[in-house]
Structure 1
């Protein structure tokens, strides 16, 4: 008889891939970040990922990334883990960002596969090992080949799992079989990085999720996992399916999740502000549609 997998949760269970609020002039809005982070944690998030894809990391400076960690730590204290996105196409720069995140108070780092140069697997593995050796912070690998152009192959992940500071994976691979293979052969904590996979991945032993949609409905995302933990799989399925229209509108409507999340948060009166170029804001019709999906979900 196979022993059920009991996931470790090094960074919590319900993590939000938090947007980075900006002022209307485009500057970093630290007060808005504090308010948004405090609300997300109060509504059910026990972890926040800062300066990830949704946090517009390509267009924030190194100094802004550090300032954001410090401000959010002030707001949430020890009530939530903070995972800092430090991914970069340059290994040396990524290592520098990792050390700066540690100084600023992060609990861990999210490290994406180097992009554009499309390194082979041997180089991908060497990159992650170098970052894990750059500080004392635990590392969450970020597998999102649709953006980086390079997969972290399951065999590579399995080898990397032997490193004591590589403890987790944010999974946007859309390779459910490959993910299960790693789950079966390692103790890595897997986090669903695609909102449509929150329940499916959790059901086969994931630690939780890193959700973009949680920017708007943190309690609804947490409730899916709460129901599953309580043994009510029917309820968990119902809650996942109820959230699906909003998930689709935010994540599969031809716009980046950053754009849709900020558009919806603005409609809800929460800190958001504009996106930075090259992104463009959502139009009024899109924003109205997002709000309609949101209102239908929260009324259910």
Structure 2
């Protein structure tokens, strides 16, 4: 069976650049999007967790999609994060994203209210029914407090508008269970799982670390597709020190990405409160890991 890859293999969960004054930096977003696509990203996920969606306005989200679409044209897919804790608001954001030029919607399970599985299923179905765009389920229970259980995903897979999952569940068995019984495209949402999920039939990844190392992460999947699984494993292992510092050091990925991009002279800007910037010690560690990965 051919693995479905509706949005490509190598997607970046792109940051949302801001000016030093904290305003949306559309020029910076276009520059960064161009660079990411040139360096091997098949798609860009906007206004997700890494894109600081909780602290950007509806108007900013739409403007970001429009600007990035203008920059990359048809060279990359654009998946718009529209998930909120409010079904009606999520529908509104979905329609706005469609109008702004997105190719698909990333919809996280509603956070804080912790709906039971039947309510969660109804939430996703209502959003999928409302928009003409395909929907990506975003399962990240560590942040939302609510798992999209595998049995719920299996039922949702019957909806023609629900085509993919961004998997941050840390349930590798559950992911394989759904992969074996549906045609959903599964994207690794945790960089340490990029190769593992791909090897069992995943579609690719939606990566935070790709903001700073897109070529190095793509090389892992390229090696696997070329049949050199030993090289793929070696390249994945080489990326682990940076992945660990960026994603498991106690700082959110948004903070670590923006810290590194600033050090590299690339568009980033500050994080919005309640997030706070990384301190000098953390930045120095990130930079050392980045330089080790990208050397040679």
TM-score relative to the length of structure 2: 0.99
Residues 1-300 of structure 1 aligned to structure 2 (within 5 Å)? 5-300=1-296
4+ residue segments displaced more than 2 Å = none
Offset of residue 284 of structure 1: 1.1
Q: Distance in 1 between matches of 2:125 and 2:72?
A: 30
Secondary structure of the corresponding residue to residue 197 of structure 1: helix
Long gaps (5+) in structure 1: none
Q: Distance in 2 between matches of 1:56 and 1:6?
A: 34
Offset of residue 288 of structure 1: 1.1
Coordinate RMSD, CA, aligned? 0.5
Secondary structure of the corresponding residue to residue 133 of structure 1: helix
Offset of residue 261 of structure 1: 0.4
Long gaps (5+) in structure 2: none
Aligned length: 296
Deviations 1:216-252 (A, max 9, x none): 0000111100001111000000000000000000000
Secondary structure of the corresponding residue to residue 281 of structure 1: coil
Offset of residue 6 of structure 1: 2.0
Q: Distance in 2 between matches of 1:269 and 1:289?
A: 17
Offset of residue 83 of structure 1: 0.1
Offset of residue 266 of structure 1: 0.5
Offset of residue 98 of structure 1: 0.1
Offset of residue 254 of structure 1: 0.2
Q: Distance in 2 between matches of 1:221 and 1:127?
A: 33
Offset of residue 182 of structure 1: 0.2
Secondary structure of the corresponding residue to residue 131 of structure 2: coil
Offset of residue 285 of structure 1: 1.1
Deviations 1:135-154 (A, max 9, x none): 10000000000000000000
